Structures are given as structure tokens and as C-alpha cells.
Structure 1
Amino acid sequence: VMEITDGAGIDAAIESTEGDLYCYLHDQSTGFSETRTILKLDANASPVWIRNFTVGSNIFSGSAELPPALVELGDGILVKYNEESSDFSPQLMRLRKSDGGVDWVKRYQMPGPYNGSQVFSLYSLLSDGTYAYMLGFSQDKNRLLKIAADGSVVVSKESAGYSSTGTTQYYRWMDFSPSGNLLVGVYAPNIGDTYNGLIELDKNFTPLRQQFLRMPRGGSNPALIPYSDSVTYGLGSLYSFGNDYATTAYFQKYNFNANFAQCGRDMPVVITPYSQSVTLKTVSPNSLTLPQSQNHNASTVPYHLAYSSYHCGNNSACSQLQLQGPITICDTVAVYSFRPVRNAGCEAAVLWRMDTVAGQVRVVIQTDTLLQLKFKSSGTLHIGAKIFANCGWLEDSILVQVSVANTKLNLGADTTLCSGNTIRLNAGSGFGSYLWQDGSTDSVYTVTKPGWYHVQVSTCAQVYKDSVLVTAAPPIPFDIGPDRTKCNSDTLRLSAPSGFLNYSWSNNYNISSTTTQNVVVNPLVDTAYYVKAEKTPGCFAYDTVRVKVNTSPPINLGSDQSFCFGDSAIFNAGSGFQSYAWSSGATSQQLIVKAKGTYSVIGTTAEGCKSYDTVRVVEVYTLPAVNLDKSPALCIGSSKLLSAGSYASYQWSTGATTSTISISDIGDYKVIVTDANGCVGSDSTSITTLNPLPAGFLPSDTAICSYGTMELKPISPFNRYLWSSGAITPGLTISQPGLYWLEVEDRNTCKGKDSVLVVLKECMKGFYIPTAFTPNGDRKNDELKPLLFGKVKTYRFTIYNRWGQVIFQTTDQFKGWDGRVAGTPQRSDTFVWTCTYQFEGESEKTAKGTVTVIR
């Protein structure tokens, strides 16, 4: 025996050809993401592996899950489950025997949503080792699938389930016959009748034989027991229409070589092919901790199930039933017999019934032919018998009057009666007649006052008498104390004397209990409380206490407050009190506070009743700090933006109500701000000076050669510069004519702008070079270089000695020869030069000549 904890249970289990056990476990959760758990045990019930598989939500999870199924298919285990989705289609998962790994998971589309026809229910999953056979129901169709080891559908067929023409057939169970064919149990709730049936199919779902049996109530075969090639037994239950919780178990025998006589019916069985949609899914297994197994001692308990009735078969020949027996009983010793009389050849079992009360009769013998009873008490009862014959019920009953003598007439001992109470005298049941002293004839009599009471009874010609004396009971001492006084919602404890059987308090208003000796009361208005206590059975004592309720006016200091620095809050406890006690030590009715904190007060009336309240000053807000720009100067023609910060509202001396204002003139400016808490702050500033703007700081208009450059500079320094070219330097070097402007900012941050016009002028143009130079270091005529007037595009100047050697060469038109070669001054001599140059817009030219060095 395996014990599994944590709410799990085994819903299905199979034994493999190797002798191992595979168990399908369920959990307790319902309506959430579900897992399917498979446990493998060896032949000794030792756990081998356990895996769970997350397969999505399943509304039929936990103990209410759609029936799972396990079968062995090839070298794997096939697991069936139903995932909650739009149609609850069944899914098959094939697991490896070795480790529980998943070979494949496939979903077999079988529509049947809640708001459609009927949700698909998988009634059977079988396997012959090579193929699996699935039986189910979907959208008013019975579905039959033959599935290969790879999950592919080999054969798919269906038959009509519901039909309005009276041939409704619901396929409910499937099993293999001894010959290897398929047996399908059928529930057929047709118009006016209910039938069960059995259909034999080959393994491609072709109908071979069928048989249908009429049933007295609805029901189906949840289990089939194949016995031979022609005989199969069915087990199931019949529903009691009108009572969903009452069922009757039944046992059926089908024989394709016989018939059910009047209870049988021929029905067509039509099964046609259809195309089954299959989709591949993925599921990842998760390993769990193996459970522990332990040995348990199991025992069986004998149980007897009584045979109830014979329903139908080919030997029923019952047509009449009559019940015989006595109708008057006057004895508790004799045994009385009742017999059902049936027509000859009737073998139907008799179902007896009696509408007795507990203890009224004792059954001595009950069989199909005899019912023997002993009667224990008087009364009237029906005894009935019925049999089921020819698919219908036969019934009969008799009315029996029982009047048995009861020699134990006893009204009890003499007793006392408390004021306001009653006593019930009971002569007992089972007598034929009753006569009390006042002429009443009931078996019971209610006593309301002291006196002598007697009764005479008779039964079966015998008379019995008895009497009882009832006297008045003495008063009972009982006091729950004087009237009480309380304040407001104070509680009081009221105590009744002890020594009583029970207590009953009223009125039931703000009282802790109505049945205990001591109670706690909390009336809010003047109230009287009453108590009744039972000293002895039926005798009660009573008392009353009145509670006067003094009230003090409620104190309401208001809601918690916050205010701005410099303000205060006034809290008023209200009038109607003789004294006040504040947490601050003050004793006045009102309290003025200026600081953050918690403040409470107790007010006491002249009667000593107190009222309380507490209030908090949550926050004392700081005032807004406004800081305006205090610079007193403005540039002429410019403006300044004054910002008061971020607050709820603004009021400027100019009348503006925005957070900022723009000013451009001399004057005084002030702003008052209010923040989100209603606190006020202010600031002011003044403009006293208007500074002039910089002007006329560039030189007068000028001219430039086409090949020259020029630097433009202001005549005085400034803090910032911005030229028309984008330069921000004090000076600007230009090489083109045009209008140039400069914007400057002085030390007062005032800005000004000036411009200068530069025009083009005629200048010397061409190539010039001296014929001699004197490199003697006197800084006069110390270098030899050509003079080029114009914009030079290319330039190369070369000097040779008399032997044609290059002693100087440059491409920099501003670099000349100083009369040295390798740092050695040359003696006075004549040297040859060449110069190749090109002015912009002209072709390249080469000039040649000589030059004399004079020392």
C-alpha cells in the first residue's frame, strides 16, 4: 500500500507488460494552472520516478477533474487529459517508460464549449499494444478514434448522438470482447422511453451486432464485463427523476444470441467516417522528489447487498398481484402474516414497503412469498407490495389498524406548579380511548393551575385509571441588586444569584449574553433589564434592574490642522462641562496653539461624566522666500525678467499676476506670492540707472588690395565680441572687400553694434626681383626674394652657383636667400635664379636671371 500526502490522490493506474505500475495523480487545486503528475512504481511498489507536466488551466482539476486515463502503447505510456480552452478538447501525451520523458503531445480537436453543445468527455481509452482506441462525445456526436503509436489518427468515425426523431444514442463506455472486437455501452434516452444498449464493433469501428433494453428510469453503463463471445454484463445506476441524489444500482446481462422479450427494442446504428484534426503541442516534464512507500495491513470487511427487484428478461410472465393479511391488530405477542398472491409462472421479486414509525413493528420474516410482523404499539399503517413485470410495476396494499394494550398507564407522582407555568400530563399512546376529569379525550392534558387530575383509558375491552395531585409551589427569593447609574458608553456588570438551573435576560439591548448568570450591559439610553431564573424544572424567579444613563456632550475639536508660520489655531471643547483638562495643562474651554503637535482635552460634567477628543497640528508651514534680482541698472532700450519663483499665485506692484514680469524703465517693483498652503511671502527691487549702449567703436570705412589682408579691430576693449563672420575674437583678419559688423557687450552687459565698409583698391601687380643684394647683417637688403603683387596660386624659387648646383630652393614666397650655403657665407659672385609662379586666374609663368652678391 502506497501512502501519498499533500492532498494528492491516484485517479488511474495501469500495470505494464514488465510488471511496473504507472499512476496518474491529481492535486487539490481547482481553476488554476494545473499540472499532470505521473508516478512509476516497480513490482514491489518502490518509487522509480515521478514527473509532473504543466499543461495549462483546467477547470476540471483536483478531485472534480474529467476522468484521466493511462494505457500502454508500444514501448511507451499514453496519458490522456483535458486542457481548459475554448472547447476542452482531449490531449494525449506519450511518455517513455525509462525516465518519464515526453515523446510527443497531441491535441485532438473536438469542439464542445459550455455555450455550445456538450463539453467533450473522454469515456474510454483502450490499447491493444499496437493501437489506442478513444471513445468520446462532442457537439452531439459520438467520436471514435483509432490512434497509432506516433499519435497519428488511423481511423476516425462518428455517429449522431442526440436526435429529435427518437433515436438518440450516447456512447458511454468501451471495452475489448474476448474475441478482440470492441464493445460499446449505449445510453439511449429516446422520446417516451429510456434504453440501454450494447454495440459490438470491429477495430475499424464497423458495427457487427447490437442489443437494446428498455429501462424504468434513466441510467447508463459506466462499466462492462465481457464474459464470452456473445455474453457481456453491464454495471450501472438508474437516476430517480425529480431527486438528483437518489440512484439505484443495477446488473444487466446482454446475450447477442438471445433477446429481452417485451423489454427489447431494435435501433439503427449508423457510424460514418469524418476527418479528425490533430495538432502537435510541447510540454516540458519536471522532476519531483520521490514519495516514500511503506507497508500497511489491509483487511476486507464482509458486506451484504440485498437483492431488490427483478427488472426484465425473457422469463417474465407476471400479470397480477394481490396482498392478503389481517387489517385489525390487538396483540403484541402474536406474529401476523402477510402474503403476496401472484399469477402462476410469475417469478418477479416482491418489493415490500411499510409507512411505520420507529419501534412500531418488528419484522420476523421477509421473503418473496411471506412477510411476518410483530406489532409493538398502536396506530394506523399501510403495508404494500410491488413487482416489476413486463416492463411495468404491479402494486397492492392494505390498511392495518393496530390497537394493543399498554398496561403501563402512569401520570407520574404528585407535583407542584409554579405561578404562570404549566405541566403536561401524558397518558401514553396505544390506547383505544381517553377520558379526563373535564371530559377531554386527548392522550395528553395541560395543567395550568393547582388541582386533582385523573384519566380513564381503554383498549381492546380493557379499562385503566390513574390520577395526580398538583399543588402551588412556594415563592423563590431572588434579587439582582438596586437600580444603577452610568455615564455615556460605560459598561455595567449585573449579577443574578447562583443556584439556578438557567437564566434568561431581557430586554435584549446592548447586553453581553441573555443566558448567563452574570452579564455586562452598555445601554445608551435609560433601560430596564429583566431576568428570569429557573430554580427547579418549571419554577421561575424574576427581578428587574433599571439603568439610568447620564450623558456628557460630545467634544469635537475638528479635523487636524496645519497653518503658516506666525499664525495660530483655536480649538474649542464646547460648553456643557464643569471642568476642562487639556494635555498642555490649560483648563479653559478654548486653547490657542502656535506649534506643531498633538492636543487632547477631557471635559467633565457635574455628574462626573467625561468626554474626550484629540486633534493634531500636523504642520506649521514656513513662509515663501522670494528673491528678486537686485541689480539696479538696465541698458537703454533693453528689458529684464523678474522671476518670483514657483508658487500658487502672484500679485505684482505693476498689477501683473504672473510668476514673472519684464521691466525696461527706472522704478520700484514689488511682488506678493501665495504658496499651495496659503502662506504669503514678498520681495522688492529697484531700477535706478539706464546705461548707454556701445556705439562707433569700429574705424572708418577703408580699402584693401585684391591680394592683400587687413585686420579689423574696435578702438576700445569690450567684454564680448561677435563678428559678422561668427568669430568671437577682438580682431578680425579679412582678405575680401565687403561690409563687416561687430556686436559687443560692455562691462554693464549692454550690447551695441557697429560696421565698417571695406572696398577694393588698385594696387601694384606683377613680378619684381633685384639684380644684387648685400647680406652683411645690417638688416638692409640682407635677403634675396622676388616680390609678387597679386594672389599667388603656385610658387617655386631656385638659386644655382656657377657650376649649376642648387644652393637654395623654396615654395614660400615670403622666405628669401640670406647669401649662405650650408651656413657658410658666399663670396661676392654672380648666381643664377629661376622662379616659377602662377597668379589666380592666370597661366603659370617662369622667370630667369642672375643676381650679384656684394660683400
Structure 2
Amino acid sequence: MNLKFNTSLIVFMILSLIAFKGNSQMVGGDVFLQGCFIELGISECGVYGSSATPPDGPLGEYHGININGLGFIADHEKDGWDESTGAGEPNFCGDYFTPGSPEEGWAIEWDGDVWENHYLPCLGYGETGFGAADMDGSITSYVDAAGVQLAVWEGELDETGINLSITQTTSFPNGALFFLTSVELCNTGDTDLTDVYYTRNVDPDQDVDNCGSYQTENVIVYNYPSDDTALVTADGESCGCFLGIGAVDNRARVSYGNFFISPSTPSDAWTGTGGYSISGSTSCDCAVQITFKVDIPAGECTIINYAHVLDPSDLQDALEATLSGGVGLTANGVSISATGQYAVCEVGDTVILEANGDPAVTWTWSPDIYLSSTVGDSIVATPEETTTYTVTGVGGECGDITTSFTLIVDEDELSDAGPDQSICIGSSTTLSGFGGPAENIYLWSPDLGLSDPNISNPVASPITTTAYTLTTYDTLGCPAYSAVLITVDPLPIINAGADVAICVDGEIELEATGGVSYVWTPAIGLSNPNIANPNCTVDDETTYTVTGTDENGCINTDEITVSVNYLPEIIATANPYTIDVFLGETTQLDVVTGGIIFNWSPPNGLSDPNIQNPIAQPEDTTIYTVTVTDQYGCVNTDTVIVNVIGELKVLLPNAFSPNGDGVNDYYYPAVSGSGDLEYYAIYNRWGEMIFENTAPNTADGSNGWDGTWNGTEAEVGSYVVIARAKKSFDEAIQTINGTFVLIR
């Protein structure tokens, strides 16, 4: 059963708030049920037994109460609790909890932990022995209607790892010799629960109060997996009083053995280990059990039904009742004994009405409108308007039964899932549902992508276009439906382009595609960060993120990295290292660089202006500029000067005037062209050398002849000069002779 989408459960919850029939049989936290042939006490912890003194029941005083209290007893012969039926025959069969030990109870086991509720009084069983009941709860309602006795206990098990709400409904027809237990276990946690064990246990001392014996003959009559029914019986060995526990359910197994007041576990009872047997028979003072093994997914419920049978004559009816899970008056399988009404959500819907209980009763239904028949324990109603019916049972062993109920034709359903919406994939939107008067009950489906499918305004985050259906319920539990379409638009494919590289101080145009508007970040170095194609100039490597928005308002991003390549470092040279050359001579230019493309300009005098190292033979002194491009396209330049000079020439002045006026006061040869003056000497007319210079300074002649000889002024007249020079090109020695006149 699905906790979230069980319409019958919702209907029952809503209608059960409207009415239930009395609480006159509730004493303290306990409740008593009295039929014609069964009397039953239920404690505040959901155990079958009470030490309280019951009030007068619907049929009069309760029978045979002793000091220990009432468990469950039966007028098994249906003779009015009369003991004069023959020698040795008891006037009733049942258990008054003599001698008062906790002989009846139930337990739940999961993941190795066990929780137990036992009586008398309400006890649990922990590591140190008996203590307070392990599962809190209370009796929440009592019903005496339509020939049915019914009581509900509600509680919870809230421990680490396990969260269960537990609803135990106990019921029987007034004329029956069995009572039915229906237990709903709802997993209110977020974790799926697997291998949950539920066990009901009783020590069948039904002969003790009348015949004094605790011994019973315990027999496994049927058991899964070999049979389709689980049934264990216990016959008293003194009076012959009968007790059977069973169910038609492939999740159930029965056993006999331990009293279930020791550290034995429900899983032991299921497997027939630890002091339990799941086959065969035995004579003993021991307990009988029925155990269910179930899985309960998170947010869902499961229901288990089983019967306590107090006379073999009712075995068949009791086991069949475990299939339907209810007795009394039902509409489409939902008990209406407590509420007296059932909602028909659409005109023309059919309702199967059944009166379950005493098979000897003949049932009649009135009025006859909208009914398939007026006689029978099962008829079909197809009401077109709200109608109150009376059903009467005649011929039962407990007398005639009359009860009324109303089929309410409901036309007040309302569901509004809100307007259709569009979102971008990866984003979300809030739904706005409305459900009318009972708007606290919302069921959205599918629940995929919803924050909570049970509220009016869940946050929806679907990854594909999804139609959500909203089911709401009005105060009568009738559903209404509406739908909303959430269109999921894809994100745009934004492309910022491939990564690029620019040179220092370079510029490139970026270009984004895929959207209708764009924002680039960071904005540094961009001409405009809010257009598709800004110009980019940066000094350092930068990664740009472009955020693009399409026509649906959907946003996506892409990145591009702009790398910055520095200019190639270049040095232009000439070889040989001197850059002075004679006219007609050559020199090889070169570039120290990592470049790959070269261009020399002007091209005049070059062997090839487009190589790294051309041969230069200019006619005149020339400044060559080399432009170098590297592998990244970055460009840099450098220059080299080639100085073209002529042949070596030595000039001998023909006169000088050493008179101290600062003009032409020294005599020295002048040199032009490529070479150096190494030596010169001056002779008078008699051939005497009057001056010699082995390290002449040709720059300014400051160490030339000053016109003196032996400390006195030389005579005015003619003199002979002999000079020697060396060429730079081939280091050849050149000697020059000449005459000059000294003038004062």
C-alpha cells in the first residue's frame, strides 16, 4: 500500500474524523469489546488483556471476571454462557491471565533490534529485563455498530534507523467466535525497511479457570511455504477449549514454543529456531505465535491481517476474513461501520455494499432506489444523489441488526495546478496548486524533480518537459485532478571560439556565437564587454568567460584564453665585427634571435634581404634595418651601420708656423682611409734628424713637432719628412717622403 497515493486510506482518515460510535467501553486507557459469544479486553499498549474492571457491555455484564482481569473468552457452545451443558464442560473458554504473568503481546524486529509490548501490566523487554512498553500508543476509538465490535489502537516506533506508525484495528461480528486483527505499518522515514518481522504471541491457558490445567496440545496445521494458509491450534488437555491463530497470507508463518518473554526474537519464530517450532505438534505449557516478514519502502504502508479463533466451527469464516481484512458493513472494501457514510465522488460511480459477519443473517436494504437488489449480503449501489439507506439483518444468533448509512454524492471537488510555465534546464520553478476546502491534501505526480509532492507549492526542477498532475481531495475525500505543463528549454550552445595568442601591444577581435546577448568577464582589455565581438588588447595571459543568453532567457557560458607572446629579442650584427669596410669589400650581417622570418632594408648591396645572414657590399655607408617575425607572428626590429671607407692616404703638410698663436703650431702628417700612421721623422737640409715620433697622435697632432731643436727654435727654411703607415685591410706598410717649409 502506498502511503502517498492510497485514496481509500485518505477517505478513511477524513471520514473517521466525522464520527465514531461512542467510547462507553473505554476504562482508563483500556477498552472492552462484547459480542454475543466473545468478550475481549485490550490494554493501552495494544495487548489483548486488561486488569481494569469493565463497565456493563452492550449486552449486559461481562462474564467470569477473576482477580487478574480479562484477556479474551468465548461462549464456545453459544448457550448463553450456561455451564449446565454436561458434566465436565466449561461454561466458557478463554484466558483470564491466570496466574497473571505477561502471557500475551506483540513485537517488531528490524536489523537485529527487537521492540516488544506485553501485559500484565504493559511492559517491554530490554537488555536488563522487563520495563516500560517499547512502543508508545493508545486506544483511539471504539465502535459498536452494524452488529460489529471494533476498537483501534494507534502508536509509533521511532528509533534510530526505523520510523513506523502503527495502527491496530480489532473487530468481530457480534455473532462470531473469532476476532480479527488488522495491523497497518507505515514507514514514515526516509529509509526503505527490509526484513521487518512482526509477531503476535499468546500462552493459551484457556482451560485454567475452569479445569485447572495449563497443558495444551499445540499443532501446526498449515504453514508456508508448503501451504497457502498459516494456522496453529492449541486444544486444552483438560476441558478441550480451543484456540487457533492464522491467516491466509504468504508473508505469515505460525509457530509454538517460548513464552516470548525472553531474549528470543521474531526472526527466531519465523525460522523455527531459538526455542520455536514451525512444524509438527507438542503437548506443553507453551505459547503459540504468528509472525509476518515484510518489506516497507520509505513513505509506504503495508497491512497484515490475522485471526484469533475460539471455536473450530468458525475457522473457515475467520480465515476468509483475513483476506478481506474487515468485518461489518463495507463500501468498496472500506469499513463504514464506524463512520456511517461513504463518499461517491462522481454521479454514476458504482459502490459495492457488503454486510460481513454472521452467515446465518438475511440482509435487506432500503429504500430500493439506485440499488441492484434489496436482499443479500452484497449488493451494488449506483446513486445519482446523496441517499441514506437502512440495512436490516434478520435470523442471526444474536438477534436482529438494524443500522443506517449514507452514500454522499460529492460534486465539490476542486483542483487547480496553476498556469503552464517554461524553465531552462538546470533551473527550477515553484508550482502553485490549489485544492479547495481540504487543501492540506496534495498529491503531485510524477514526483520526479519535485521538492515535496505533498504540498501545494513544491519546487519543480525537471530535466525534461514534464506534465505534472495535481490530485487534491475535498472534505469527503473525493479526488479532483488538474495538470500543469513545465516546458524545459535547453541551454544555448555558447561558443567563445578557440583559444588565441596575441603579441605584446597586439589586438584581436573576439567573437561569441549561440546567444542573442552576451556579457564578457573580466572586462579588462576589452573595447566593450557587452557585445558579441569586442576588441581585445591585454598585456598578460587572460581567460575570458562569456555568458550568453538565448531568446528563451536561458543562459550558458564558454571560455577563451588569450595568451600574450612577447616580441622576439634580436641583435643585428656584422662579421667581421668591424663595420668599417673599404669600398668594394663585403661583410656578413646576422641576427641573434629566435625568429623565423627576416627582412633587411634597404636591400641595396645585400645578397638576399629575406634571410637571416645576408652578405653586405654597399657602395656607401648604409644603415640596415632588420625586421624579424617569430613563430607567433610577433615582430621586432634592430639596426646595424656598415661604414664604407676608401684607400689609406697619408697627407704631408707643406708648411707650418709654430709661433704660439694656437693655429698650425705643430707639424704632423694627416691620415685618411683605412689605416694608421705608425712613424714619422723630420730632417734639416744637412740631413740631420731633428724630430722623431714613434707613436703619433693623428687625431689632433698634439704630440707633433713644435719647431724646436735641441731646445731652441729651428731655422726658417725647408725640411724633409719621412712617414710610415700601415693599411688596416692587409696591414701593408706604406712609406711617404716629402718636404715642407717652416715659417715664423
TM-score calculated relative to the size of structure 1: 0.30
Structure richer in helix, relative to its length? 2
Greater RCO structure (CA 8 Å; 6+ sep):
2
Structure richer in strand, relative to its length? 1
TM-score calculated relative to the size of structure 2: 0.34
